[in-house]
Structure 1
Amino acid sequence: MHTGTPQAAVRAADVSKVFFSGADPVWALEDFSLSLEPGSFTCIVGPSGCGKSTFLRIVGGLEERTVGEVEIDGAAHPIPAAYVFQEHGVFPWMTILENVAFGLRMAGVGRAEREESARVWLDRVRLADFAGSYPHQLSGGMRQRVAIARAFATGSPLLLMDEPLGALDAQTRLLMQEELIALWEQERKTVLMVTHDIDEAILLSDRVIVMSGRPGTLREDIAVPFPRPRSFDIERSAEFGELRSRIWNLLREDVRAAEETA
C-alpha cells in the first residue's frame, strides 16, 4: 500500500463522513486514507453506496468531512480541482466554445485568452468544427469530450472524475477511454476517478483502490502491473484476466455480505 509523503498530490487521512436520516446516523465513510503521487491515474471501485462519490466530493471541497484530514499539494485550501461527472454537465444555453472556456471564465481569465485556450482544447478532442454549436446538436460522446476538454483547459493539476463514461454506449465508451488516456499521457495531471467498470479501472489506472461496503474504507490498494504507454490489447492477456478476477472477488464478498445483513 502506498503511504503519504510531503510531496503527495492528494493526502487523505482517516476520513469519515456521517449523514443523518432523521435521527439515525448513516456512516458513508469510515477511516478512509489515500495518498496519490503527482501525475498518477488512480481509479476507485467499490459496491454501490460505499461512499466512492462522497469521498471524491470531499477531496474536491464539495462535501465536508466529519473527521479526518485532506490536503492537496500540502495545502488545506489549494487550487480548485477540475471535475468531470457522469452526466457531462455542459450548459445547454452556451456554445461548445463557451462551455470549454467556462472554468477559465470563473477563474477570471480574460475573454480573448480563455477563448484561445478553449479552441486549442477543442482541436485536441477533435471538436474544433463545433465551436459555435450547442450541446443538443452533439452526440453523447461528443458532449462528454466537451466536458473532458473543459476540465483539462482549467489548468488544474487535479482532475476528479465520477463515472465520466458511465452513460455512454459500449463502443463509444471504449473510444472515449482511449482518448482520455491519450490526453492524460500528454498532460500527466493527477487523476482520481470513480468507476463501476473493473476493466476500465485496469485499463486506465496506475492503481485500483478497492473500497469495502458501507461504511466505505480501504479494502485493497492494487498496483496495475502493465507498463505505459499502454495498449488496450492487454485485455486479452492472462494477467489482465487474473487481475479482473481478483478485484471482482473482493467486490463480490462485500455485495454478498450486504445481502445477508439486509
Structure 2
Amino acid sequence: MNKNENKWYASWFDSPFYHILYKDRDHTEAETFMSNLTDYLNIPEHGKILDLACGKGRHAVYLNSIGYDVVGADLSENSINYAKQFENDSLHFKVHNMCQPFGETFDAVFNLFTSFGYFENKSDNLATIKAIKANLNDFGFGVIDFMNTEYIIENLVPENTKTVEGIDFLQKRRVENGYIIKDISFTFKGDDYQFQERVKAFSLADFEALFEQAGVYLLDVFGDYKLSKFHKKTSERLIMIFK
C-alpha cells in the first residue's frame, strides 16, 4: 500500500487527469511572474533557486532558462520522473517532502501557485515554513504564492463542467471546516473517477502567525503576478516574501 494513499494530493497530482484538467494554465503569465519576482528579489546571476512542489518542472525549467541554477523538488514521483528529461548541469529534480529541510541552502525558495495548505496534520504547515527558512542562505528570500482566500470564497463558483480532451470534468466547490474543497468527477473509457482537492483557507493573518512561530520576517505582500499591492477584497493572489 502506498504510504501516501490517504493523502489526496499524493494520488491526484500523480494522476494523468490532473495534468489534463489544468493543461491550459497560462504559461506567459507564469513566466512574467518568474521574471518579475527574480528581478524584484535581485537574485544574483547564476543564483540558486529551490522550486518547492515543482510539479512537472515548468517554472523550474523557465527559471533555469533565464540564468539561474535551479533545483525542483516535489512529492510526486511521476512528476519528477517526467521533469528529469529537462535536467542539465544547472537544473536538477528530486523527489522530496517539503515539510523537511532540503539539506542545502539557496538564494531563494519558491513555493508557487497554491502549493501550500494541503496537509491534514496542522504541524506540517509550520514545519514547511521552518524547512524553507533552513533552506535559505544568509541573503536568501522565501516566497509563498497562495490564493487570496477571502476573494476566492467571495467569488466561489459552486459548480461547473470543464471539457478537456473530450473528458467532461464536473467541478463542485464548497467551504467546509476551514478548507476550500473542490470535488472533481468524470468518466473516462467507461470508468467513473472521483478526486478531491482540499486546501486550508489560510488568510494573511494565519500566515503571519505561522511566520512568527517559525521565526521568519514578512517583508512584502503582493496581490497578483505583476506584483501589485495586495488588497484583501480584490486581489486574486496572496504573494508573500519573507526571510
Same fold (TM over 0.5): no
User: Counting strand residues as a fraction of each chain, which structure ranks higher?
Assistant: 2
User: Counting helix residues as a fraction of each chain, which structure ranks higher?
Assistant: 1
Q: TM-score, normalised by structure 2?
A: 0.35
